[in-house]
Chain A
Amino acid sequence: MDAAQRKIGRRKSLARRLSEDKKVQAAAAVVLPVLLGILIFGLWQGGVLQTIFRTDSFTLPAPTRIASLFRDNFGKVVTNARDTVTVALAGLIIGSLLGYGAAILASFFPNMGKGGLSIVGAFASIPVVALAPVMNNWTRDVSTEASSRSMVAKILVVMLIAAADMGLNAYRGLTELKPYAKDLMATYAAPRRMVFLKLQLPNSVPYIFTALKVSVPASIMTAIVSEYFAEYITGVGRQIRENIVLAQYATAWVYITAACIIGLLAYVILMIVQAAVMKRYHF
Chain B
Amino acid sequence: MNAAEYTRNDVPDEIVIRDLGVTFQDNKGEDVQAITGVNLNIKKGEFVSLLGPSGCGKTTLLRCVADLQEPTDGDIHVEGMTPKEVRLQHKFGFVFQSPVLFDWRTVKKNVELPLEMMYQTKQQRSERADEMLEMVGLTNFANHFPNQLSGGMQQRVNIARALGIRPDILLMDEPFSALDEFTKEKLHEDLLRIWRKTNKTILFVTHNIQEAVFLSDRVCVLSPHPGRLSAVVDIDLPRPRTLDMKETPAFNQLVLKVRNSFEGGSFS
Contact = CB atoms under 8 A, between A and B. Distances in A.
Contacts of A202: 102, 104
B98 A178 contact: yes
B173 to A, nearest CB: 9
A178 B100 contact: yes
Contacts, number: 61
A53 interface: no
Interface residues of A, number: 21
A199 interface: yes
B175 to A, nearest CB: 12
Contacts of B113: 188, 198
Contacts of B90: 188-189
Contacts of A23: none
A190 interface: yes
Interface string B103-121: 1100000000110111000
B97 A187 contact: no
A82 to B, nearest CB: 36
A203 B104 CA distance: 8
A179 interface: yes
Nearest to A282: B145
B98 A187 contact: no
B31 to A, nearest CB: 24
A282 B102 contact: no
Interface in A78-102: none
B114 A188 contact: yes
A194 interface: yes
B68 interface: yes
A35 interface: no
A183 B94 contact: yes
A269 to B, nearest CB: 22
A186 B83 CA distance: 12
Nearest to A278: B104
Contacts of B63: 183
Given A183-B96, A282-B147, A190 B102 contact: no
B97 to A, nearest CB: 7
B102 A189 contact: no
A185 B96 CA distance: 12
Contacts of A184: 94, 96, 100
B87 interface: yes
A180 interface: yes
A179 B104 contact: no
Interface in A193-207: 194, 198-199, 202-203, 205
B87 A189 contact: yes
B92 interface: yes
B68 A186 contact: yes
Contacts of A179: 98, 100
B100 A180 contact: yes
B87 A187 contact: yes
Nearest to B94: A187
A184 B90 CA distance: 12
B66 interface: yes
A109 interface: no
B145 to A, nearest CB: 4
Nearest to A181: B100
B88 interface: yes
A283 B104 contact: yes
Nearest to A202: B104
Contacts of B92: 187
Contacts of A187: 66, 68, 87, 92-94
Nearest to B118: A188
Given A282-B104, A282-B147, A189 B88 contact: yes
Interface in B38-97: 63, 66-68, 87-90, 92-94, 96-97
Contacts of B96: 180, 183-184
Interface in A34-66: none
B165 interface: yes
Interface string A156-198: 0000000000000000000000111101111111100010001
A283 B116 contact: no
Nearest to A187: B94
A74 B67 CA distance: 68
Interface of B: 63, 66-68, 87-90, 92-94, 96-98, 100, 102-104, 113-114, 116-118, 145-148, 165
The 3 A-B residue pairs with the shortest CB-CB distance, nearest first, are A282-B145, A281-B104, A187-B94
22 contacts: A178-B100, A179-B100, A180-B96, A180-B97, A181-B100, A183-B63, A183-B68, A184-B96, A185-B117, A187-B66, A187-B68, A187-B93, A188-B90, A188-B113, A189-B88, A189-B89, A198-B102, A199-B102, A202-B102, A203-B102, A282-B103, A282-B145
Interface of A: 178-181, 183-190, 194, 198-199, 202-203, 205, 281-283
